[in-house]
Amino acid sequence: MADELGEAWLTIVGIGEDGPAGLSPASRDALAHAEWVTGAARHLALLPDLACPSAVWPVPFADGIAGLLARRGQRVVMLVSGNPFWFGAGSVVTRALEPGEWVAHPVPSTFDLAAARLGWPIETTRCLGLHAAPLARMRPMLAPGVRLIVLLRDAAAVGTLARYLDAQGFGASALWVLEALGGPRERVRRVTAADYALEDVGHPVAVGIETVGDGAVLPGVAGRPDRWFAHDGQITKRPVRALTLSALAPRPFETLWDIGAGSGSIAIEWLLADPSTQAVAFEADPVRAARARGNAAALGVDRLAVVVGRAPDGLGGYPFPDAVFVGGGLSEDLLDWLFRTLPPGTRLVANAVTLESEALLARWQGDKGGDLLRIELSDVAPIGTRRGWRAHYPIVQWSVRL
């Protein structure tokens, strides 16, 4: 049977709210010869005259993968919204397949249709799929003049979005509520976030946002102000954080280990550098670990993995990083473990503030090389009726490739 079908036994068919009318000839042919069809209930309802058995894809989405793979050797069609590979299900499914086992026939995505209705250039519009993701993913993008198109789960999520924007100081933002785009139920309505009161929003729904307001704007470069992070004093301060991120040099698709994470500020700024980066924060204090997790969620990088444990004992069992930052718990045993365990080429940056840890870094730098930097900072403070420079503890920073 596999030889008769060829390698591509699965056809992923993008379908819009216009149903059969919007399908390509290739999609129609795949459906005409299908032995089994699956998809969301609303997608199947758009094609009531299927000539083969069909099944609703289960929730949660991952539960359907095993059943799909069990159909290898049959002609299978999977129905998905719009473009399967633009915040769609395509990439989730194809991760479990070998190259050549599938073909895909996309139709315009909701993002395409929304941009066409609003007249917004997609290349400068932030597009987000927030069906099952927190609204805080938008937080780094919120600034006056920024346009976003977000896909949402349901009508209730639209109201939650409006309240979130208002709470962040962007209640004056214009919202375009875009329902069932491309189909007979299509409707577009404009409201203001602070005044949102719609109660009859249909599914599927997207929202176009033109951000207006005087809410705080998260800077786009490393060294964000300390006020963005909840902390108990254990935080790498803004100027040192900027120098530390510069030394760590985050790149797309890289992973960081932040050891002794404290407030999580280093790992969070690493994640803010690029949406493809990953980070694991190790923190021995459960209260600080919870605080780091909360900071990450508030700043839209909830993908931060926070591990409660003391280094080096708690470091095993995680994918090796591309870069490591040691901000707390610096010791001979930790450095020895990192050099013995991690792959050559891993970037290591360690900050020291005490004489003992400074001496440790100086000795290891003498043996292993790398760059040793002493950072001395002062800020202005009152002295009676005048002002003077208040010195902070100097920081010694070692950066090296293992």
> What pTM was computed for the model?
0.91
Assess whether 100 and 124 both reside in one domain.
Answer: no
63/70 Cα distance (integer angstroms):
13
pLDDT for residue 274 is more than 90: yes
Judge whether 219 lies within some domain. no
Please compute the mean of the pLDDT values over residues 6-30 and round it to a whole number. Answer: 91
Count CB neighbours of 362 within 10 A.
13
Secondary element (H or E) of residue 368: helix 355-368
200 and 230: one domain? no
Whether 341 and 201 map to the same domain: the answer is: no
Class of residue 313 by CB neighbours under 10 A (exposed 0-12, middle 13-18, buried 19+) = exposed
Percent of the chain with pLDDT over 70: 99
The amino acid present at 36, given as its one-letter code, is W
Domain-located, residue 330: yes
CATH number at residue 205: 3.30.950.10
Here the tokens at position 377 are 């900072």
- Confidence band of 5 (pLDDT split at 50, 70, 90): very low
Distance of alpha carbon 179 from alpha carbon 107, whole angstroms: 17
Is 217 contained in some domain?
no
Pairing of strands 174-179, 205-210: antiparallel
Q: How far apart are CA 248 and CA 399, in angstroms?
A: 8
What are the pLDDT digits (tens) for 31-43? Answer: 999 999 999 999 9
Task: Retrieve residue 211's tokens.
Answer: 């951000």
Binning pLDDT at 50, 70 and 90, where does residue 4 land? very low
Q: Can you give the CATH number for the domain in which 341 is found? A: 3.40.50.150
Mean pLDDT of the chain: 95
Q: Are residues 295 and 347 in the same domain?
A: yes
**What's the average model confidence in pLDDT over 116-120?**
98
Domain limit, last residue, from 143, 176, 210 = 210
Residues 102 and 156 in one domain: no
Domain carrying residue 125: 111-210
> What local confidence, expressed as pLDDT, does residue 65 receive?
94
> Residues 273-295: what's their mean pLDDT?
97
Query: Which has the higher per-residue pLDDT, 3 or 62?
Result: 62
Cα torsion 339, 342, 343, 347: sign: negative
Q: How many CB atoms lie within 10 A of CB 390?
A: 12
DSSP lists the bridge partners of residue 14 as 80
Whether 339 maps to a domain, the answer reads: yes
* Chosen domain end from 210, 236, 267: 210
Q: What is the CATH number of the domain that holds 44?
A: 3.40.1010.10
Picking from 338, 258, 262, the residue whose alpha carbon sits closest to that of residue 304 is: 258
Contact 89, 80 (CB under 8 A): yes
Whole-angstrom distance, CA of residue 36 vs CA of residue 64: 14
- 86 and 74 in a single domain? The answer is yes
pLDDT category of residue 3 using cuts at 50, 70 and 90: very low
Residues 263 and 369 in one domain: yes
Half-sphere exposure of 399 (CA within 13 A, CB side): 13
Question: Average pLDDT, stretch 98-120?
Answer: 95
Residue 218 domain-assigned (yes or no): no
Same domain, 8 and 133: no
Q: Lowest mean pLDDT: which of 48-57, 114-123, 158-167, 247-256?
A: 48-57
Q: What is the pLDDT of residues 237-267, one digit of tens each?
A: 999 999 999 999 999 999 999 999 999 999 9
In sequence order, the 6+-apart residues with CB closer than 8 A to the CB of 344 are 401, 402
* 378: in domain: yes
Residues 360 and 267 in one domain: yes
Q: Among 77, 107, 137, which residue terminates a domain?
A: 107
* Domain shared by 161 and 198, yes or no: yes
Domain count, the chain: 3
CA 99-103-107 angle, 5° bins: 135
Higher pLDDT, 168 or 1: 168
Q: Are 99 and 124 part of one and the same domain?
A: no
In a domain, 220, yes or no: no
The pLDDT score that the predictor gives to residue 6 is 52
pLDDT of residue 289 exceeding 80, the answer is yes
- Model confidence pLDDT, tens digit, residues 306-350: 999 999 988 988 999 999 999 999 999 999 999 999 999 999 999
Digit-coded pLDDT (tens) for 187-217:
999 999 999 999 999 999 999 999 999 999 9
pLDDT beyond 50 at 396: yes
- The confidence band for 7, taking pLDDT boundaries of 50, 70 and 90, is confident
User: Residue 284: phi, psi to the nearest 5?
Assistant: -75, -30
Query: H-helix or E-strand containing 152?
Result: strand 147-152
For residue 221, tell me if it sits in a domain: no
Are 118 and 94 in the same domain?
no
